[in-house]
Amino acid sequence: MGSSANKPQLIVDGKRVSGRGFSDLRNLKITAGVLKKANGSAMIEWGKNRILAAVYGPREVFPKHMTDPRKALINARYVMAPFSSMEEHGRSGPNRRSIEISKVAKHVFENNVLVHMFPKTMININMDVLQSDGGTRVAAVTAASVALVDAGIPVRDLVQGVSIGKIEGTQVSDLDKDEDNYGESDMPAIVSLRTGEVLLYQMDGKLTRVEVDTALSMIFEGAKIVREKQVEALRAKYESNLSEARE
């Protein structure tokens, strides 16, 4: 949440600066299977966000002593590339923020993947933020869900989400970078629409009870749109399996 210093106007003439309505999402496109070597992969283009998700596994656990005889171990790694932001050159590798995001992303997939089918193995989920534009964590996990499905790893649902914020007193969906920096609140979430469960939930800002309730409702509404894009990506890759072949 930003300070008032240098704060740009975020709502002009009842609209967001980008021209979007309050519950509109930015342009969103997902491409499944963009990498050859990874077992599964996906690229997400969401606003200016460009995030690559790659999945390896199930495979042998390394280091070996981490092996769980009951289920597959999920390793999630979210990192921002040093060149990914509008600001100065970042430091490469994980920082405190990205370690925390990696942790909550890992919890999503511990729930989502049928981990008990693959005891003693490890599934690595890499999320590389190549260009950041606000909402990277929900975009990264949304892409990772597609990458897992592309890898043929059994999951309970496609999971996805959106971040709900509050700018100049108004609750809006899918914050961009400025809205995130200068807004009054941010609630990123990942959900399973099938079960109605929230699998990643973070919140930062100041919201009343009514606002929390509204934000949750906006999350599920946004997720429906995001899920369609995930299905579209997978359909594009797998539908050719169904169509009549060309000689």
Partner 1 sequence: MEKRIVFPGEQVAERPLRLEGCFAEDGKTYAAVVSVAQEDRVIPLKGRYLPNYGDYVVGIIKDERFSGYSVELNSPYEGQLSNRDTREEFHTGDIVLVKIMAVDEVNNAIVVEPRRLSEGEILEVESVKVPRIIGRNGSMLAILRQHTGTEIIVGKNGRIYLKGGNTTLATLAVLKICREAHTNGLTDRITSFLQQESKS
Partner 2 sequence: MKATCQKQGNNGDEKMILNNVKEAYITDLIRKGKRADSRAPMEYRPIEVETNVFENCEGSAIAHLGDTKVLAGVKIDVAEPFSDRPNEGVFMVNSEFTPSAHPQFEAGPPNERSIELARVVDRGIRAANSIDLNALALPDGRVLGVFVDLYVLDHSGNLIDAAALAAMAALNNTRIPKYEPSSDEKKRGKLFRTESAGQLDIKSNVIACSFEKIEGTTIADATDEEEVASNGRLTIAIADGEYMVASQKSGAAGFKRQEIMNLFDAAVSKYAELAAHAKKR
234 binds, among partner 2, partner 1, none (CB under 5 to 8 A by kind): partner 1
Query: Quick check: 53 binds partner 1 (CB under 8 A)?
Result: no
Query: Quick check: 196 binds partner 2 (CB under 8 A)?
Result: yes
CA dihedral 80, 86, 88, 94 (to 10 degrees): -10
Query: Would you say 69 and 56 are in contact if contact means Cβ atoms under 8 Å apart?
Result: no
Out of 202, 214, 221, 231, the residue judged to bind partner 2 by CB under 8 A: 202
Query: Quick check: 6 binds partner 2 (CB under 8 A)?
Result: yes
Q: How far apart are CA 62 and CA 72, in angstroms?
A: 12
Query: Quick check: 168 binds partner 1 (CB under 8 A)?
Result: no
Query: Would you say 157 and 112 are in contact if contact means Cβ atoms under 8 Å apart?
Result: yes
What's the closest the beta carbon of residue 148 comes to partner 1, in angstroms?
Answer: 9
Q: How far apart are CA 38 and CA 58, in angstroms?
A: 12
218 binds, among partner 1, partner 2, none (CB under 5 to 8 A by kind): none
Nearer to partner 2, 5 or 245 (CB): 5
133-to-17, 34, 50, 192 alpha-carbon distances in Å: 15, 21, 8, 24
Out of 120, 170, 220, 232, the residue judged to bind partner 2 by CB under 8 A: 220
Query: Would you say 8 and 17 are in contact if contact means Cβ atoms under 8 Å apart?
Result: yes
105 binds, among partner 2, partner 1, none (CB under 5 to 8 A by kind): none
Nearer to partner 1, 27 or 243 (CB): 243
Cβ neighbours, 10 Å, residue 76: 23
Tokens representing 188?
């990123």
Query: Quick check: 167 binds partner 2 (CB under 8 A)?
Result: no
Q: What are phi and psi of 242, to 5 degrees?
A: -95, -30
Query: Quick check: 59 binds partner 1 (CB under 8 A)?
Result: yes
Whether the ω angle into residue 63 lies within 30 degrees of 0, i.e. cis, is yes
Query: Quick check: 35 binds partner 1 (CB under 8 A)?
Result: no
Cβ neighbours, 10 Å, residue 214: 15
Query: Quick check: 88 binds partner 1 (CB under 8 A)?
Result: no
Nearer to partner 2, 26 or 137 (CB): 137
Q: How far apart are CA 76 and CA 136, in angstroms?
A: 15
Q: How far apart are CA 100 and CA 228, in angstroms?
A: 28
**Where on the chain is the footprint of partner 2 (CB under 8 A)?**
1, 3, 5-6, 65-66, 68-69, 73-74, 96-97, 99-100, 102-104, 106-107, 110-111, 185, 187, 192, 195-209, 212-213, 216-217, 220
**Where on the chain is the footprint of partner 1 (CB under 8 A)?**
39, 57-60, 69, 114, 117-121, 149-158, 192-194, 230-231, 234-235, 238-239, 241-245, 247
